[in-house]
Amino acid sequence: MKLVVTGAAGFIGANLIEGLNARGLDDIIAVDDDAQGLKAQNLRGLKFAEFITSDHFYPRMARGEFGKLEAVFHEGACSDTMETRRDFIMAKNFDCSRDLLLACQRQGTRLLYASSAAVYGNSRAFTEAPANEAPLNFYGESKLMFDHFLREKLSAAPHSRFAHAPTQVAGFRYFNVYGPREQHKGRMASVAFHQFHQMRREGRVKLFGAYGGYAPGEQRRDFVSVRDVVAVNVWFLDHPEVSGIFNLGTGRAQAFNDVARAVASSLRPHAAPDSLIDYIDFPPALVGKYQSYTQADLSALRQAGCDHAFDDVQTGVSRYMQWLQTQAP
């Protein structure tokens, strides 16, 4: 089985390759713009057939030069929610994905791609329906545009390029993913990652204060382990008959305070966790652009037959802290 992983040196891409390797799959084309510095660490110990830069892969894919490909896991994107260059992010996240989808459909290659919970903005309902979708930034808008493009193609007339029974296409609206191999992401890394390093430097963790009607640290997100994200992607690889757009979170909103307590308890087990949390003023730059609450509705995922059991914050973050301690100097 020949596979492709785009964004291969990134956070989710590298974890996907690890998960595929665990299944005995290593005939993998790894695609990325960069595998230097901190990102290079993500590929250590992983097995893949070849590494190709994005500028070479996409034109060759469009020409069908790779032969029979079973599936593409499309994780490559600009994931910066603060990116202000709309043309840039649309080219990276929409134009590139659209062209890849069309190439996959021409060649009979399945596409499993990363969407984002950012498409929901400040919605209080998180089912995969247009009525709930109102992104707050260009990143979320770019992901939603591609989801809309897919929806249009899936509902197109039988004589379209997709016909009425297209090769599998599945999009995953990732909620707040955390876990190994995110060290290169800088400010876009998970709150658990940043709090680990705050504890090592200062012996305390920081959270935003009151905002959006929530008490300090009580803004709530659906925090999902990258291990669970990989498991669901692999489930879809095993189920080529399932297409559509699916939330990929735990179905459980938990407070940022819960993350901080899990971090503090893991690193300072004899201290009262709440005594190690400092609250800072909410940044003005994020006002009106911040999701104070997210919780994946898993109804569509469950109806598709995926019954994967997700870790809660306490379990997943504690395991992640153990991994980080093995990596840190």
The pLDDT tens digits of the residues spanning 160-205 come to 454 444 699 999 999 999 999 999 999 889 999 999 999 999 999 9
**293/288 Cα distance (integer angstroms):** 13
53 contacts 29 by C-beta, under 8 angstroms: no
> Which residues, listed in sequence order, are joined to residue 172 by a DSSP beta bridge?
114, 246
**136/212 Cα distance (integer angstroms):** 15
pLDDT for the residue numbered 145: 95
Q: Which residues contact 325 (CB under 8 A, 6 or more apart)?
A: 267
pLDDT single digits (tens) 108-132: 999 999 999 999 998 999 999 999 9
**111/172 Cα distance (integer angstroms):** 11
CA distances from 229 to 3, 68, 210, 240 (A): 18, 26, 30, 17
**245/143 Cα distance (integer angstroms):** 12
The helix (H) or strand (E) run that includes residue 102 is: helix 96-107
Which position has the token pair 């489930």? 235
DSSP assigned state of 128: S
Q: Which fold has domain 3-175+225-249+298-303?
A: Rossmann fold (3.40.50)
- Domain boundary assignment for the chain: 3-175+225-249+298-303, 178-221+253-295+311-323
**Arithmetic mean of pLDDT, 99-114:** 96
Q: Rg of the Cα trace of the chain?
A: 20
Q: What angle do CA 182, 186, 187 make, to 5 degrees?
A: 115
* Amino acid sitting at position 185: K
pLDDT for the residue numbered 79: 79
Q: Which two tokens stand for residue 117?
A: 């919970």
**248/118 Cα distance (integer angstroms):** 12
pLDDT at 251 over 80: yes
Which position has the token pair 């509902």? 155
- The residues carrying an active-site annotation are 139, 185
**Verdict on whether the full-model pTM lies above 0.85:** yes
pLDDT at 80 over 70: yes
Under CATH, which number does the domain 178-221+253-295+311-323 receive?
A: 3.90.25.10
* Amino acid sitting at position 82: M
